[in-house]
Structure 1
Amino acid sequence: MAWPSPLEALVIGASAGGVAALQTMLGSLPGSFQAPVFVVLHVPKDRPSGIPELLGGYCALPVLEADDKQPVRPGHVYFAPPDYHLLVESRDALALSMDEPVLFSRPSIDVLFESAAAVYDRGLLAILLTGASSDGSEGVAAVRAAGGKAWIQCPVEAAAPAMPNAALAHAGADAVLRLGEMCERLKGSPA
């Protein structure tokens, strides 16, 4: 089934079309899901995103916008705030960065995935969803190189297939799945 064993953390990246995909995915997570979840969704940098409030209503887990040096708690969902990179600093803390945008994006999916891979290695599952850029390709490669697993949304189903296609071409995947299949697998997570 291409699961990290044990599943210690989940990272998710999405861009164009990502709000609807994340609504479905986060809504599928059971309240008993124990791994922390870190999410980058490309959002406009010049206004509050409102995404945690919007998606929190669909998710059985607490959904928060990440703060710098915020403690990591199991069974919580942390979103990158607008115009900040989100990094997993350690198993105990998050970090925010205003380093240069990566592929025109801040927050960057690559930055999140690479930092999480360095901390969680084999215990990490990365999920790359719909998007119109190539952000996430290097991150997926880093996760897989560290021994973690990567699921990529089936490009045919994605609202914007460019990001899944770019990651598949660059890094491959442990599974290419439709959104509904990902949700079913997450419900049966070993976390």
Structure 2
Amino acid sequence: MIAIGGSAGSLPVLAELLEQLPASIDCTMMIIVHRLKNVPSDLDRLLSLKAPIIEPEDKQPVLSHRIYLAPQNYHLLIEDEGTFALDYAEPLHYSRPSIDVSFASVAEVYGPRALAILLSGASKDGAAGMQRIIAAGGTGFVQDPASALFDTMPLAALELCPEAQAMSLTDMVHFLTELKMSAEHDQ
């Protein structure tokens, strides 16, 4: 499971990352982006350049080789039985969906098979969730703060998670391509 979180300034990087990914990536992706709750959003269509983006419904099964986008105004969690849960609990870091909430559920279900990517943002959301993924044996990396429009989110994650690595967009794409190639090699 690759879980990607972002906020202010993350959309151009996220769109470019999705555009440059290998055509068939052998994993499931979950994207958590802070969005306004009372404004219609076509983010799923805007990001669907390479592959369809799905906004999951409550209790929908998590399927492999899919890209999921956290719906507006709900925390997106993954349950042990392999289904999504939409949660309307209080916002965390003023955000619903919260990256921390989603990353924490990914850590619990996927453990060492989880990769957290944290992009540009103006809050500290995502840092604690990334810490949980790394503690569960997963991997974490952040957008290089020097390239982030808002560096608060990547810097908070690097401060809390010294094991996390800062990467440029090119490095992220290279890493994910290598991940795909090693998965193909292992089969």
Any idea what the Cα deviations from partners look like across 1:19-71, whole Å, max 9, x if unmatched? 111101111222321211011000100023211100102x2x32111211111
2:77 corresponds to which residue? 87
1:48 corresponds to which residue? 40
The letter for the 2-side match of 1:48 is P
The letter for the 1-side match of 2:134 is R
Q: 1:1-191 alignment to 2 at 5 Å?
A: 9-57=1-49, 59=50, 61-90=51-80, 92-189=82-179, 190-191=182-183
SS of equivalent to 2:60 = coil
Structure 2 length as normaliser, TM-score? 0.92
Q: Count how many residue pairs are aligned between Structure 1 and Structure 2.
A: 181
Q: Give unpaired runs (5+ residues) of structure 2.
A: none
2:77 and 2:160 mapped to 1: Cα distance? 22
Structure showing the higher helix proportion among its residues: 2
1:159 and 1:66 mapped to 2: Cα distance? 29
CA apart distance, 1:92 = 2.3
1:37 and 1:48 mapped to 2: Cα distance? 23
The letter for the 2-side match of 1:111 is V
* Ranges of 4+ aligned residues in structure 1 off by more than 4 Å: none
Any idea what the Cα deviations from partners look like across 1:111-131, whole Å, max 9, x if unmatched? 000000000000100000100
Query: Retained in 2: the 8 A contact 1:87–1:115?
Result: yes
Give the share of equivalent positions with the same residue, in percent.
41
CA apart distance, 1:91 = 5.9
More deviation, 158-167/63-72: 63-72
173 and 27 in structure 1: CA distance in 2 versus 1, 3 angstrom threshold? farther
Query: Retained in 2: the 8 A contact 1:113–1:139?
Result: yes
2:54 and 2:166 mapped to 1: Cα distance? 28
Query: Retained in 1: the 8 A contact 2:158–2:164?
Result: no
1:93 and 1:30 mapped to 2: Cα distance? 26
Structure 1 length as normaliser, TM-score? 0.91
Query: Retained in 2: the 8 A contact 1:14–1:128?
Result: yes
